[in-house]
Amino acid sequence: MARYAPGSPTAVELRYTATVTTLTVADQGAAPTAPGATGAATITAPAGSWTGGGNGLRGMRERIERVGGRTQAGPTAEGWTVEMEIPA
């Protein structure tokens, strides 16, 4: 997230039940522009949204799938979200 939206507020949520653990990391897109700056920040999603377009997402997905889990990642209305679900 730091690579694509540096300075953006980021939320990390870890949930677990008897059957699954879920980790969600979400940012709010590009950081706000500095006071007095003109124009709005542009958010550009990497290619391959929701399918793991980069090696980092692909590597995470492959490792999670090896233990029977799932991963999804991609743009949201606010920014970008990565979610990993791992069975207990």
User: Is the residue at 18 inside a domain?
Assistant: yes
Torsion of CA 1, 53, 64, 5, to 10 degrees: 0
**What is the per-residue pLDDT across 29-86, written as a single tens digit (0 to 9) for each?**
876 555 554 444 444 444 444 444 557 888 999 999 999 999 999 999 888 999 999 9
* Residue 70 covered by a domain: yes
Structure tokens, 21? 């653990």
- Residue 23 inside a domain? The answer is yes
Measured CA to CA, the distance from residue 79 to residue 21 in angstroms comes to 23
Domain count, the chain: 1
Phi, psi for residue 58 in degrees, rounded to 5: -65, -45
pTM over 0.75: no
Distance, in Å, from the CA atom of 3 to the CA atom of 1, rounded to the nearest integer, reads: 5
Structure tokens at 47: 């290619």
Q: Are 67 and 16 a contacting pair, CB within 8 Å?
A: no
Domain interval for residue 72: 10-30+43-87
